[in-house]
């Protein structure tokens, strides 16, 4: 999947996400604050939008994880989504989300969920996510909402396309 700025979505390592996590999600904090539990789990996947210079300008991670407020046994948590400040407003966030959703749907994931920062909840709603909680605060990070989206239709489409 490529963009107008010549960026392509590809799977990357957890360590490759750390610089952008630090810059966008944990500014002013030590790099160790950007290493999340589950990052190295075998069924965790990290994606980056890599521009024509080889720089990672957007990231998202997907962790197999359930949430008690969201029904679904085959669920993944979308987390640590960030776009470099100089690349915002070009649709990279949407492409990251669509890309990871298709990847997960093609592997049988039925539902994705995220702890969406309050300022980003509108973005998730525009992409078909439902808000399923009141606002809550994650310590040292800020206010969030729990959002979720069914991937059942995407999974069926992906399986149909794979059989063509």
17-73 pLDDT per residue, tens: 999 999 999 999 998 989 999 999 999 999 999 999 999 999 999 999 888 787 666
Listed in order, strand segments (DSSP E) in the chain are: 8-12, 45-50, 56-64, 75-83, 111-117, 130-131, 136-138, 142-150
Domain of 144 in residue numbering reads as 8-162
Percent of the chain with pLDDT over 90: 69
Percent of the chain with pLDDT over 70: 88
Provide the pLDDT for residue 152: 80
Q: How would you classify the pairing of strands 111-117 and 75-83?
A: parallel
- 59 in a structural domain: yes
- 44 in a structural domain: yes
- 1 in a structural domain: no
pTM, two decimals, is 0.85
Residue (of 9, 109, 2) closest to 56 by Cα position: 9
- 137 in a structural domain: yes
- 46 in a structural domain: yes
80-103 pLDDT per residue, tens: 999 999 998 889 999 999 999 999
Q: What is the number of structural domains in the chain?
A: 1
- 2 in a structural domain: no
- 3 in a structural domain: no
31-47 pLDDT per residue, tens: 898 999 999 999 999 99
Q: What is the CATH number of the domain that holds 37?
A: 3.40.630.30
């Amino acid at each position: 999947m490529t963009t107008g700025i010549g960026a392509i979505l590809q799977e990357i390592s957890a360590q490759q996400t750390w610089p952008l996590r630090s810059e966008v999600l944990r500014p002013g904090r030590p790099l160790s604050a950007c290493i999340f539990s589950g990052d190295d789990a075998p069924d965790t996947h990290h994606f980056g939008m890599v521009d024509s210079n080889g720089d990672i300008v957007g990231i998202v991670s997907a962790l197999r994880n359930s949430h008690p407020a969201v029904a679904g046994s085959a669920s993944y948590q979308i987390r640590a989504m960030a776009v470099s400040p100089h690349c915002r407003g070009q649709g990279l966030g949407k492409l990251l989300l669509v890309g990871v959703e298709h990847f997960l749907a093609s592997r049988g994931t039925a539902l994705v969920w995220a702890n969406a920062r309050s300022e980003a909840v509108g973005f998730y709603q525009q992409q078909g996510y439902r808000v399923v909680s009141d606002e809550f605060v994650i310590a040292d990070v800020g206010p969030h909402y729990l959002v979720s989206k069914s991937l059942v239709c995407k999974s069926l489409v992906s399986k149909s396309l794979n059989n063509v």
